[in-house]
Structure 1
């Protein structure tokens, strides 16, 4: 798709930096504290991601702390990269896997790149190429492999982005840490789309339906697709979803409406939100602003920008309604003409960027807006979750209240259970059972009675190792893994002691004895003990012959045997006698049937036999040797109508034809025309090629005469 309105579409030519920053939540029009998150040694771009850390887009992805050293994430030996989001210890983005340069007389030297989605784990050498090489993308008129791919967001062990097919259309993609886990989210009613954000199993984005763009929501599969475009929308209006807040069942984006300008069609945008369905669309466009977009969501708030005039976009925050909009731009120091907010972390800090030029141009500085004061409960998990947001053992959640006055309390609840109140400012919550547990917590000041905002952590625990099963037949290995938490573990295998590989689809093995080891690893890192099995050599299978018959012949006939499990040791047998056999592939071998076996009509049997390795024989298929039959006859061209020649019996026939029209020959169900035969009708001679048919029409301009010398097969 041409328009990528999610935040990573901002400047990608500068460096990106990862920062740590904590502050209190945003709630209303109180004075905000602004932190300009300048790093040491690297210019910054729009920050992406949260969890107390910031990251941005760049042509050489980097990360670091304010004033601290810069760590490059740019993969060695490649051609630039872009960070799009962060969750825990992982960073999501894209890198230029290959570079192509050519010379144009019109434009001079031009360079193009092949882009792959990428998942980092904190360094330039610790990354996974997520390009879905084994994924089949479904098109309107066929299928395609992925040509390029981009990463756009990451959360809780899931990554999203998009991949282009061979026709240049985009497909929204969901990953779970590996290229083999890629899922094409494109619904059958669309021909392209992009996934822009993910939060705890909910993916959002947009795609093209007809001539307009529709916002979309998914829950892990293309079949779960929810079209967020209201059916009552005016013609030409589009919606795009850019952010999601799973805890508050909120999706955000904007509504685009065409506007007739002088000499062209323009567009205006209004920030919107949904609560999971199209009919919940709510206009967030604030009064007094010309246009707006909501870009991110979290902690119950929505962030983005609204324009006070052309080029003067102001970062802002909503809390569910247009009237709740707070303009964040006035809290910036002088010198910035435009700004945007792109996300909000679980503490309510708003992260975005300020620009020295209008319309997000000029020098850019990452910014954090926050309200002063301790208004949230601090929370920490022991042990900390892995990069996919999971633990493989019980977890202790430690809660620290900002209030220390006598009578202060902490409150928490796990899932739908009753709320628990703890006196004082500290509590530990132990969670030991497997599953996803949402813990909500807050604190009350004993002196003023003031409450903090309600925050929450999702604790994911999986202490059970996955189970992998293996099936082997006709030389094909199929592996399946199951996990009682409902996720799809990553399957690994090793063949004959070779290097471990990630399993994605069933694979064929050669017809010799093999040793196969296989195991799975789930999102929590639980690793199954490896299973080892022996794959024995196997008997071949025969499914088809081409050709499957011949007429009585004085020449040899070559037949193609189609099936599986063939090898160079395979031999074709004709009525039990071996034939001269040529190995083509594991699914095809050819053999020559000598003319001596084709001299009389008969129904014979063909089978394929494997000598060691893979001893065994296929079931047999019939090969028919059929006889010729020949007949001649005449007709009277003076009688009008369609001539029918009944070939039962085929030794003689009579018929007639319309003058100057056609001859129509019809046989019974057991008679077919030969591949080639001649027709002589008066002074017109034609060659017919109607093999396999039981009727044929001969057209031409005929004089009176006889139909002679044609051949049919009984």
Structure 2
């Protein structure tokens, strides 16, 4: 006996009322290999929303930009540059990294094309510089001053360069920037020390843990900083909240070593390994060691190892980038993990009761999107499958 739409509506209403008291759990992941056609080795290291950046090897490294698919690849390598190049982060339509010239590697800025390249290397300094991150028009990295690297801050031009090297530091590098904060490391007293700045050398904050061998902060977002602390020869993925005493060890139970490379929206990504970093596994955390998620296990086999380098959360979607070694061909593959919410029908970032109403409206209207399970047609099975996804999805 066929289901009437009235019966379906009544049954759905009962499900909606029950759903209001239930917390959804678990999200769905998919993995995209970003290597362009014919490219054997590629690396994805930064992500902001639907854009990913990194490099591909075509005779040498080429700064690269993607928009979620291999076919979207854009070669950012500027004409006339003799050395390699790499894009390391993207945000707000800007990409940053470095380009190899005859005089050395220069910190670089792009806005989506090779022709848009801007050389950030200031005059009157050493041969080398790098830009590692950008946010709201600010870029960070390092500039060689004499024989030392100095943590650096720019605002889109070489002339805007500011030296963040703190008093007493023999060298420093800034790796991340967000909301007026910069993070990286400074070498003080012969120790590499995770560091935090707020725009000037004098603002330097030492995040280094007492008695640690070394430490480094790679990224910052919304008051959280991530990186690693080395203790007794073992690297520990680390999370700070602005001070050394706020340090948290993210190394999950059962693993000897780890490192966190990026943070966004309260989640952190990096890698874990046992004795040999050559067999690391891409990883994700939600602020604690126990929250560890093995992203490597989501990859199609066979991969020898993988590492997650960047994360971005937006509108109910999570994008993680990194790279891994595919053992059957011994090639590096640029990887994009995407976590999506099938139950978040209205794409507001969470699976809530309004998503059920929105889906049912589409179903009753015969909207082709309501063919949720992708079979022959829109029928009652799509409602059951959507509700199953709603209950199982979009909570992290």
CA distance in 2, matches of 1:92, 1:121: 9
Q: What is the aligned partner in structure 1 of residue 116 from structure 2?
A: 181
Correspondence for 1:580 = none
Distance 1:229 1:302 in 2: 19
Q: Distance in 1 between matches of 2:279 and 2:42?
A: 22
Does 1 or 2 have the higher relative contact order (CA < 8 Å, sep 6+)?
A: 2
**Equivalent of residue 210 in structure 2, options 280, 287, 294:** 287
- Alignment RMSD, CA only? 2.8
* Inter-CA distance 288–147: structure 2 relative to 1 (3 Å threshold): closer
Q: How far is 1:71 from its partner?
A: 3.0
- TM-score, normalisation: structure 2: 0.64
Aligned pairs for 1:77-116 (under 5 A) are 77-98=38-59, 114-116=60-62
1:321-470 aligned at under 5 Å gives the runs 321-329=243-251, 332-334=252-254, 336-346=255-265, 348-357=266-275, 360-370=277-287, 380=315
Matched with 1:117 is 63
Aligned length: 275
Q: Which has the higher helix share?
A: 2
Distance in 1 between residues matched to 2:213 and 2:38, nearest whole Å = 46
Q: Which residue of 2 aligns with 1:225?
A: 161
The offset of 1:321, in angstroms, is 1.0
Look up the SS of the partner of 2:73 in the other structure: strand
Any unmatched runs of 5+ in structure 2?
1-25, 292-312, 317-345, 353-396
Does the CA contact (< 8 Å) of 1:356 and 1:364 recur in 2?
no
In the TM superposition, 1:291-330 aligns within 5 A as 291-310=214-233, 312-329=234-251
Report the more deviating stretch, 121-130 or 269-278. Answer: 121-130
Q: 5 Å matches for 1:313-712?
A: 313-329=235-251, 332-334=252-254, 336-346=255-265, 348-357=266-275, 360-370=277-287, 380=315
- State the secondary structure of the residue aligned to 1:370: coil
2:173 equivalent to 1:240? yes
Q: Identify the match of residue 200 of structure 2 among 274, 277, 294.
A: 277
**Equivalent residue number for residue 151 of structure 1:** 87
Partner-residue secondary structure (3-state), 1:365: strand
Q: CA deviation at 1:257?
A: 4.3
Distance 1:219 1:129 in 2: 24
Q: Call closer, same or farther: CA 1:363–1:343 in 2, change over 3 Å.
A: closer
Q: CA deviation at 1:320?
A: 0.9
- How many angstroms does 1:288 deviate by? 3.6
Residue 184 of structure 2 is aligned to residue 253 of structure 1:
yes
CA offset digits 1:497-549 (Å, max 9, x no partner): xxxxxxxxxxxxxxxxxxxxxxxxxxxxxxxxxxxxxxxxxxxxxxxxxxxxx
Deviations 1:196-240 (A, max 9, x none): 11122111001211011100011111111111013x325xx1001
Contact residue 354 and residue 367 of structure 1 kept, 8 A: no
Distance 1:401 1:75 in 2: 34
Is there any run of 5+ residues in structure 1 with no aligned partner, and where?
1-34, 36-51, 53-64, 99-113, 135-144, 260-267, 382-395, 403-714
Q: Distance in 2 between matches of 1:379 and 1:185?
A: 29
Normalising by structure 1, what TM-score?
Answer: 0.36
Q: Distance in 1 between matches of 2:260 and 2:56?
A: 25
Q: 1:203 to 1:221 in 2, by over 3 A?
A: same
* Larger Rg computed on CA atoms: 1
1:401 Cα offset (Å) = 12
Name the one with the larger strand percent: 1
Aligned equivalents of 2:188 and 2:245: distance in 1? 21
